[in-house]
Amino acid sequence: MNNNIKIAPSILACDFSKLGQEILAVEKAGADIIHLDVMDGHFVPNLTFGPPIIKSVRSLTNLMFDTHLMVSNPDSLIDAYADAGANIITVHVEACNHLDKTLNYIRSLGCKAGVAINPHTDIKFLLNIIDNLDLILVMTVNPGFGGQKFISNMVNKITAVKEIIGSRKIFLEVDGGINSKNSSQVIIAGANILVAGSAVFEGGNEESYRKNILSLKV
């Protein structure tokens, strides 16, 4: 088991009728971070949840809230998510007119700043903003829906991003179709935060979640 790897369950896959209980269960099961997939129905074709939901569960746990904004207007929403309790705010380069300014503003609010890379995104832009980043998220599916199949050739992109990061203290996160069958590939490629939805919440109870989380670190 690799104890340097952090597991970030995506609550998009949990039972929303008992959201608070689910967050507490994955925390007890060994989750390191809670991943929050925010979708606006415009930047991506699905619609999820907003700041009120995040704020309603913030007091339940001290785990970091990793908020992934899959939205077309992130700059106008950053304050609301920071106020709701986000610790990490990740935006998509395609949605930001002035990415450097956006990242600096996120940091000015006391949050860690991340940028997400879609499967089609050219990673060369990272060279211009790398020192303003705390996290890089490599999407291993096309964003918008949970439960998609892992795109295997994204492993090469993870390796390339890791080379750009070098010795910098920047988290390299992966999200999309991550499970026990492919987690070792992305870890070897350089990822140190694995986002997983159905692969964690399968089984529906704390003991299952514990086994699922441990299986991702092997």
Give the model confidence (pLDDT) of 27-66 as tens digits.
999 999 999 999 999 999 899 999 999 999 999 999 999 9
The DSSP bridge pattern shows strands 171-175 and 193-196 to be parallel
Query: What pLDDT is attached to residue 146?
Result: 66
Catalytic residue among 15, 37, 40, 100: 37
Q: Mean per-residue pLDDT for 12-41?
A: 97
37 is catalytic: yes
Q: What is the percent of the chain where pLDDT is above 70?
A: 97
Domain at 6-217: CATH architecture: Alpha-Beta Barrel (3.20)
- Give SS3 for 209: helix
Q: Which of 33, 28, 61 is nearest to 207 (CA)?
A: 28
| 2 has a pLDDT exceeding 80 | no
HSE (side-chain half, CA atoms, 13 Å) at 152: 2
| 126 has a pLDDT exceeding 70 | yes
- pTM, full prediction: 0.96
Number of H helices, E strands in the chain: 9, 8
Q: Cα–Cα distances in Å, from 78 out to 89, 95, 130, 131, 181?
A: 8, 13, 20, 20, 35
Catalytic residue among 40, 66, 134, 175: 175
Contact indicator for 138, 173 with CB cutoff of 8 Å: yes
Q: Cα–Cα distances in Å, from 161 out to 40, 139, 164, 168, 177?
A: 27, 12, 5, 12, 19
